Amino acid sequence: MVEMPEKALKLQCTLAKEKVLSTQSTQLSYLLVEVIPVGAGEAERMPLNISFVLDRSGSMAGEKVANLREAVKLVIDQLEPDDIISIVIFDDRAEVLVPSQPASDKEGLKRLVDKITDRGGTEMSKGMRLGLNELRKNMGRDRVSRMVLLTDGQTFGDEDECIRLAKECQEFGLPIVAFGLGEDWNEELLDEVAGATSSSGGFSEFIQEPSQILMHFQDVLRSMKGTVAKNAYLTLRLVQGVSPRQVWRVLPLISNLGYQPLSDRDVQVPLGDIERDVGQAILVELLIPPRPAGRYRLAQAEVSYDIPSRNISGEKVRTDVIIEYTTDEAAAKQVNAKVMNFVEKATAFRLQTQALAAAKSGDYERATRLLRQSATRLLSIGEKELATVALEEAKRLEQGEGMSSVGTKRLRYETQRLTRRLSEQQGQE
Amino acid sequence: MGIKCPQCGTENLDGALFCDECGASLSDVGAEVEKTEVAPAEVEQAQELPQVAVGRACSSCGHVNPEDARFCENCGAALEEEVKVTPPPPTVMAKLVTSEGVEIELDFGSKSELLIGRADPVSRVFPDVDLTPHGGYEAGVSRRHCIIRYSDGKFSVEDLESTNGTKLNGKFIPPKVPQPLNDGDELILGALVLKFHCK
């Protein structure tokens, strides 16, 4: 018998309720699919291809640009000689400060970073275009690539071009991590730019204080270095009568995922890169039909992925999702605590998203109500500070003041991190 | 059937844990949350199913399933009774020892990392290892001080931007950058001295 090598990923499927009542009606079932990296240690490191696209407009003067320089220099210190780096700086023009190159001459690179000073206006698309060009010079499938975009202001009339370039990045499977610094940037644009690459792992994030740039850049670097598998897809093959209602990503960040129905019974979710220590978790709401008592398969879950460094392409792991229909009412009341926790956090995220949308469309009454309801959920999961922000914003709306820029941004970006144990709690220390 | 939300009156599907409309918890109405998490042993191991379908007809719908299928691919009905249970993975042996010689077991269970800090019911921080009984508060240990991680047979420690920092063998470690942790290493959290041991 040939011994099979251990697979790099493990799939773990957990239902909120393993046992449900054998009723006459359709029920809602929550399925948590965890993609967990196993084995494969540090030796599996994949070389990186990182491009910084940085706003150096006049508003970046002082503390912001100083912190930015230090954060980029610290990243340079931590790159390996075979990692590729490029740096683009933009105001109303854009220039390639560091053309795509191996990070071997660290001192030389850091001297260039020290030349970043503030000037001019903001035209982000020009910077993005040059960043994409530099990334493409070294974009092998064996490299982990990211565009790290940072801006502190509104771009001047080139929003459509920014979004077009983001879609181009997505075609290359290139995630954009977009950081908005301070209060005066356009979160809808950054969300759309990063969101265009979300299926490859792109996301947007709020940096409130310049001193936090360093920490966020370290996060990006660590996530890139921790990549154990690329080009991952989750496929759920549902049995007859079972249909999907909602698909959420809950780790590493919470987002409402679109899913592609492969057919009326199959659901496919692109996962992008899989990161060591974090993996990914997907929460699926399934509508399940009435059944007589007994054990049934609801679905087969399958994840496929590539590991270019080991020449593995399209490797698959599968597992069955089994549910038991029972007439035992007590047994059908048992809820798995871990799944429940993810459902609650996704609910808090959903309420907050709906509240911001309602506020934007001018329905302040609904927005106020949703903010209060999201505060209830946030309190229940221990996010006291964020709950307070939601309540304060609700009060502002009620008094006709409109939501604050910082409050809106905090709710929007911190709720996506509810499932991560990160430093947002530093204020409590 | 269905569950009526006690808050806003919206009818939700059976099985819903939170109201579709207002997000209120419905679990008090219909469910009890287990106190324990599912052990990994109860989860089936991933398994390749062969592509070719060779004769195993489902008794409820007649669909022909692969030989080793346990549940019908079409309707999901059980084709055989028992699901295999794999033995639990070997447990990791590690501990922290205080300067007074008190041993704190690091019980990883099914987790790959443990949060070390100080329990605080007010901000609802409950670390896996609570150092309050070992003088954590007086020594300036943060609620979320650091993480000890176990992966690929190796331990590492990562400071979580704690207020008073983490020292490894006498040197401050940079926040949020995992550092390898070996048997006999000394950790100082704030002013609390701990020895790390593992097997």
Give pLDDT tens digits for A174-184.
999 999 999 88
pLDDT above 70: residue A221: yes
Q: What does the pLDDT read at residue A4? A: 53
Q: Give the residue extent of every domain in chain A.
A: 9-43+227-332, 48-225, 337-428
pLDDT above 50: residue A156: yes
Domains of chain B, start order: 1-85 (no CATH), 94-198 (2.60.200.20)
Quick one: average pLDDT of A329-345? 90
Name the residue with higher pLDDT: A156 or A355: A355
Q: Is the peptide bond before A252 cis (omega within 30 degrees of 0)?
A: yes
pLDDT above 90: residue B50: no
Task: Say whether A179 sits in a helix, a strand or coil.
Answer: strand
Chain B residues in contact with A317 (beta carbon < 8 A): 46
Chain A residues in contact with B10 (beta carbon < 8 A): none
Q: What does the pLDDT read at residue A1? A: 44
Find the closest chain B residue to A325 by CA distance. Answer: B77
CA distance B94 to chain A (A): 19
Chain A residues in contact with B17 (beta carbon < 8 A): 16, 30, 335, 340, 343-344
Quick one: average pLDDT of A69-90? 95
> A9-43+227-332 — its CATH code?
2.60.40.3670
pLDDT above 50: residue B75: yes
Inter-chain touch B43–A14, beta carbons under 8 Å: yes
Residues A57, A121: Cα–Cα separation, whole Å: 5
Fold classified for A48-225: Rossmann fold (3.40.50)
Name the residue with higher pLDDT: B124 or A10: A10
Q: Does B179 touch chain A (CB under 8 A)?
A: no
Find the closest chain B residue to A246 by CA distance. Answer: B20
Task: Say whether A172 sits in a helix, a strand or coil.
Answer: coil
Q: What does the pLDDT read at residue B66? A: 66
Q: What does the pLDDT read at residue B43? A: 31
Inter-chain touch A23–B49, beta carbons under 8 Å: no
Contact status, residue A102 vs residue A137, Cβ threshold 8 Å: no
Q: What does the pLDDT read at residue B81? A: 42
Inter-chain touch A344–B176, beta carbons under 8 Å: no
Q: What does the pLDDT read at residue B147? A: 94
Chain B residues in contact with A13 (beta carbon < 8 A): 43
C-alpha dihedral over A306, A311, A315, A317, to 10 degrees?
A: -90
Q: What does the pLDDT read at residue A149? A: 97
Tell me: the pLDDT tens digits for B151-160?
A: 888 899 999 9
Inter-chain touch A7–B78, beta carbons under 8 Å: no
Dig out the tokens for A407 from the structure.
């409050």
Average pLDDT over chain B, rounded to an integer: 76
Distances (CA, A) of A167 to A180, A192, A202, B60: 19, 10, 11, 48
Q: Does B144 touch chain A (CB under 8 A)?
A: yes
- Name which of A277, A294, A426 is nearest B161 (Cβ-Cβ): A426
Nearest to A55 by CA among A181, A197, A218: A181
Q: What does the pLDDT read at residue B86? A: 44
Inter-chain touch B38–A21, beta carbons under 8 Å: no
Mutate to test the interface with A, among B28, B58, B123 (most CBs of A within 10 A): B123
- Name which of B12, B33, B161 is nearest A340 (Cβ-Cβ): B33
Contact status, residue A91 vs residue A57, Cβ threshold 8 Å: yes
Residues A406, A389: Cα–Cα separation, whole Å: 9
Average pLDDT over chain A, rounded to an integer: 89
Q: 81-140 in B: which are within 8 Å (CB) of A?
A: 83, 112-113, 115, 123-125
pLDDT above 80: residue B65: no
pLDDT above 70: residue B171: yes
Residues A214, A193: Cα–Cα separation, whole Å: 22
Name the residue with higher pLDDT: A225 or B78: A225
Q: Does B180 touch chain A (CB under 8 A)?
A: no
Tell me: the pLDDT tens digits for B78-135?
A: 765 433 344 445 566 889 998 888 888 888 877 888 999 998 877 777 888 989 888 8
Q: Does B161 touch chain A (CB under 8 A)?
A: yes
Q: What does the pLDDT read at residue B194? A: 94
Q: What does the pLDDT read at residue B175? A: 86
Q: What does the pLDDT read at residue B82? A: 36
- Name which of B18, B37, B123 is nearest A347 (Cβ-Cβ): B18
At B172, is the pLDDT very low, low, confident or very high (cuts 50, 70, 90)? confident
Q: Residue A32: beta bridge partners? A: A14, A283
